[in-house]
Structure 1
Amino acid sequence: MNKNESVGIREIPKPGKWLALSLQHIFAMFGATILVPFLVGLSPAVALISGGLGTLAYLLITRGRIPAYLGSSFAFIAPIISAKMAGGFEAAMVGCFFAGLVYGIVALLIHKYGLNWLLQLLPPVVAGPVIIVIGLGLAGTAVDMAMFIPGSEEYSLMHLSVALITLAITIIASIYFKGFFSLVPILFGILAGYIYAFIIGLVDLAPVREAQWFQVPDLMVPFVTYTPTFSWGVIAIIVPVATVTLTEHIGHQMVLSKVVGKNFMETPLLKRSILGDGVATMIASLIGGPPNTTYGENIGVLAITKVFSIFVIGGAAVIAVLFGFIGKISALISTIPTAVMGGVSILLFGIIASSGLRMMIDSKVDLGEKRNLIISSVILVLGIGGAFIQVSDELQIAGMSLAAFVGVLLNLILPGREKQGLNMEMFEETTTEKSDGSAA
């Protein structure tokens, strides 16, 4: 294929090329997709399966017109951890299912009223600080994983050295690698950190040797492996996150429109795209995987290769599902030291926070205006400070959920609100500079 040629959305490449192109998308999403379940205590194998199934559902719902890959969303890490503590994984999965339903409701509203109402409800002065809260709220988790022996509060220089080497290689890959390799710095960082950890004796490969080649992962299926429990408290923790990831989704559609050269922001396509993302999240919740989101890395792969075929994306999704049932792959993922993931997380969580700041800068949010300063300041302190409202014994609105709610409320009631929202220009750069995608 000529460097300047592109493969259309409905074109099918030759089998050998098809497989190679699909594997590229697997490499692009792999590091971030397995990191999320690793951090929250879910099965990485199930995350691969749910991401693959979610992507296939997305392609069907969008009628094969939007080439996008969906993987684990970073925005839900802290809420899932909090929900797990409040009601267990079962209740957390119910909360994630309801977060997916929010996407469906928004898709219906966009069908009826268009997109402007959503952009007015979540302008950059609200969405930006909330994204910053998502990143900085996880900073302590990343540092603890990097510094301490897993399961204890004992400082370990050996574990810290693993984290720092992982971080250093990830940064080098991000800055100096070119082309496709610049899109997978997380994968390079994890590989380098894993090799170093193996050399110094922190990796035990016994689980890999003992694992079967074919193995059904630890699926969490309601009414089969557990009885779902409904908790308003868990719903209040998880569902508000969907408001922020919706903003991220719209941003990704803007970037994808520019990369592919087609307008995916038209109401008929956008509502299907948002619905597809929501259905993918509901599918994940029904088998015990983390909520899904469109991935910036895979959009970057499209930008570099000019291969926009949904069949390539679909091929990657099928491979991801197959990987989830290969026991040795699952076992290998489980042997990755916590310090390795801590090193990667230091950069990733910082990027999430920085992307919120970038959203505000690119949207020209003037913090010299008292209104904007007040909204952003309140969101940051409430979210990072861990403020909460105890509504009842079961219901608590806390952290990022409370910060987002108060931010939206302040934006609506404070005088001087101008019509503002996400603009196309702020998303027109390629996503080769991004990792899993901001609030992803």
Structure 2
Amino acid sequence: MNNKPTLDVKDIPKPGQWFTLSLQHLFSMFGATILVPYLVGLSPALALISSGLGTLAFLLITKGRVPAYLGSSFAYIIPIKVLNETGGPGAAMVGTFIAGLVYGIVALVISKSGHRWVMNILPPIVVGPVIIVIGLALSSTAVGMAMNNPAGKYSMLHFSVGLVTLAATIVFSIYAKKMLSIIPILAGIIVGYIYALIVGVVDFTPVLKANWFEMPEFVIPFVSYKVKLTWDIVALIVPVAVVTLSEHIGHQLVLSKVVGRDYIKNPGLHRSILGDGTATIISALIGGPPKTTYGENIGVLAITRVYSVYVIAGAAVIAIIFGFIGKVTALIQTIPTPVMGGVSILLFGIIASSGLRMLVDSKVDFGDKRNLVISSVILVLGIGGAIVKLPFNIQIQGMALAAIIGVLLNLILPGRQAADENMFEAEDANKQTA
């Protein structure tokens, strides 16, 4: 891989160049970052502000060595949506805080004992099917958003908006070149929005009425809601947080290849995980969704070969500013549901497909009955929405239950040692190519 930098990690760009390069990163994360709060009932403005603040915190914790942008995590959509609906924004924010806390605890343990124990617990045969579940469990939501009107009934007019958005996003994903190929979600949303304007399903008046500067309604613990920790929150969030650790490690390995540095070793996986967890905790304290490093922004790094953390920090600052511009927030809120549904059809499918890709890249042998059993159980329990009800009103359901059962099966079933050895050999080979 040609990773000779145009701007290296510590290089400071010229002012005009700085703004343009930072804006590219903002565009690459924008569509996905605002889609998550749109789906779970949180504020898009707070999603932008928390992503900016979280990214700045990540850069500080990783000593300015890791050029990664943190946006809204799709892995938490279902648990956050459930918590938001059953316990209100307070429960969702407590859950988000717990997710960040799990990352902090894991980072502390890794700093003392290394990271391979995490990979032992979360090999590809567990994580791959769980990622597939994350995508497919949301498929009915995406289709419903794309084809229904605001009353929840089928509408061919609204479905046409969803299909046009989907088609545009696919075209940008396949045929677009250079920077445009990195922002197919945002580009698809723009095309779908224009079509929705043409067919008359957009109400533009909120944008006209909105102020240029507008203070978002921050969701602050002990001020906006009473903090109450329940076992239901823990049972919903912790398994997902554990699984997303594997996603974080994967991003760091890919980023190491792109930039030409070993980020697992320096500044260390524990620092990047702590940075991710801190960003999520910041989100919880102001009303934003959980955070994760973004593959879209890693793609920008790969194409532009601009690795400067100052460019990433610039994107974070612009995101924070956007969160306080009332007309931007109002414009986001006028995006019709079918537009987001059309994008989601592809996006959630890509999430599921990335789970398949993990299994393929890791050369998981499905001729091995052990692997077949683990993946089959995870897929059916997760997509089927299985629920285990325990004493004290504790419920473990869907993806969380599938992840727990998958981890247990991997630890209990015979043949784990051989599978672990193959996995670590593959990981070492990946590092040598970085």
Whether contact under 8 Å (1:86, 1:234) holds in the other structure is no
Q: Distance in 2 between matches of 1:425 and 1:159?
A: 50
- Per the alignment, in what secondary structure is the counterpart of residue 59 of structure 1? helix
- Structure 1 residues 62 and 5: alpha-carbon distance in aligned structure 2, compared to 1, 3 A threshold: closer
Shift, 1:26, TM fit:
0.5
Shift, 1:115, TM fit:
1.1
Unaligned 5+ runs, structure 2:
none
Whether contact under 8 Å (2:53, 2:282) holds in the other structure is yes
Whether contact under 8 Å (2:62, 2:267) holds in the other structure is no
After superposition, residues 11-30 of structure 1 pair within 5 angstroms as 11-30=11-30
Q: Distance in 1 between matches of 2:269 and 2:423?
A: 16
Q: Distance in 1 between matches of 2:387 and 2:205?
A: 44
Q: CA RMSD in A?
A: 1.5
Shift, 1:181, TM fit:
0.8
Shift, 1:361, TM fit:
0.9
Alignment partner, residue 68 of structure 2: 68
Alignment partner, residue 107 of structure 1: 107
The one-letter amino acid paired with 2:296 is: E
Alignment partner, residue 177 of structure 2: 178
Q: Deviations over 1:331-361 (max 9, x none)?
A: 0000000000000000000000011011011
- Per the alignment, in what secondary structure is the counterpart of residue 240 of structure 1? helix
Q: Distance in 2 between matches of 1:104 and 1:349?
A: 28
Q: Please, which moves more after superposition, 313-322 or 106-115? A: 106-115
Alignment partner, residue 437 of structure 1: none
- Per the alignment, in what secondary structure is the counterpart of residue 290 of structure 1? coil
The one-letter amino acid paired with 1:326 is: I
Q: Distance in 2 between matches of 1:88 and 1:134?
A: 22
- Per the alignment, in what secondary structure is the counterpart of residue 397 of structure 1? strand
Q: Deviations over 1:308-345 (max 9, x none)?
A: 11111001000000000000000000000000000000
Shift, 1:153, TM fit:
3.1
1:191 aligns with 2:171: no
Alignment partner, residue 260 of structure 2: 261
After superposition, residues 369-384 of structure 1 pair within 5 angstroms as 369-384=368-383
Alignment partner, residue 127 of structure 2: 127
After superposition, residues 291-440 of structure 1 pair within 5 angstroms as 291-417=290-416, 418=418, 419=420, 420-421=422-423, 423-424=426-427
- Structure 1 residues 76 and 214: alpha-carbon distance in aligned structure 2, compared to 1, 3 A threshold: same
- Per the alignment, in what secondary structure is the counterpart of residue 239 of structure 1? helix
TM-score by length of 2: 0.95
Shift, 1:219, TM fit:
1.1
Whether contact under 8 Å (1:255, 1:427) holds in the other structure is no
Alignment partner, residue 436 of structure 1: none
The one-letter amino acid paired with 1:203 is: V
Q: Deviations over 1:21-71 (max 9, x none)?
A: 100101110000000000111000000000000000000001101110000
Shift, 1:271, TM fit:
0.8
Shift, 1:5, TM fit:
5.0
1:143 aligns with 2:143: yes
Alignment partner, residue 208 of structure 1: 207
Shift, 1:426, TM fit:
9.7
The one-letter amino acid paired with 1:325 is: F
Q: Distance in 2 between matches of 1:54 and 1:239?
A: 20
Whether contact under 8 Å (2:23, 2:315) holds in the other structure is yes
After superposition, residues 220-235 of structure 1 pair within 5 angstroms as 220-235=219-234
Alignment partner, residue 84 of structure 1: 84
The one-letter amino acid paired with 1:222 is: P
Q: Distance in 2 between matches of 1:270 and 1:97?
A: 20
Q: Please, which moves more after superposition, 264-273 or 76-85? A: 264-273
Q: Distance in 1 between matches of 2:308 and 2:91?
A: 38
Q: Distance in 2 between matches of 1:426 and 1:91?
A: 43
Unaligned 5+ runs, structure 1:
429-440
Alignment partner, residue 270 of structure 2: 271
1:7 aligns with 2:10: no
Q: Distance in 2 between matches of 1:321 and 1:137?
A: 31
Q: Please, which moves more after superposition, 11-20 or 78-87? A: 78-87
Q: Distance in 2 between matches of 1:78 and 1:267?
A: 34
Shift, 1:416, TM fit:
1.2
Shift, 1:86, TM fit:
2.9
- Per the alignment, in what secondary structure is the counterpart of residue 342 of structure 1? helix
Q: Distance in 2 between matches of 1:312 and 1:192?
A: 28
- Per the alignment, in what secondary structure is the counterpart of residue 71 of structure 1? strand
Shift, 1:11, TM fit:
1.0
- Per the alignment, in what secondary structure is the counterpart of residue 390 of structure 1? strand
Q: Distance in 1 between matches of 2:379 and 2:97?
A: 27
The one-letter amino acid paired with 2:238 is: V
Whether contact under 8 Å (1:87, 1:234) holds in the other structure is no
The number of aligned residues is 425
- Per the alignment, in what secondary structure is the counterpart of residue 10 of structure 1? coil
TM-score by length of 1: 0.94
Shift, 1:405, TM fit:
0.2
- Structure 1 residues 23 and 379: alpha-carbon distance in aligned structure 2, compared to 1, 3 A threshold: same
Shift, 1:366, TM fit:
0.8
Whether contact under 8 Å (1:174, 1:182) holds in the other structure is yes
Shift, 1:85, TM fit:
2.8
Q: Distance in 2 between matches of 1:158 and 1:238?
A: 38
Whether contact under 8 Å (2:132, 2:354) holds in the other structure is yes
The one-letter amino acid paired with 1:123 is: P
Percent of aligned pairs with the same residue? 65
Q: Distance in 1 between matches of 2:7 and 2:267?
A: 24
Q: Which structure shows the bigger proportion of residues in helix conformation?
A: 2
Q: Distance in 2 between matches of 1:10 and 1:70?
A: 19
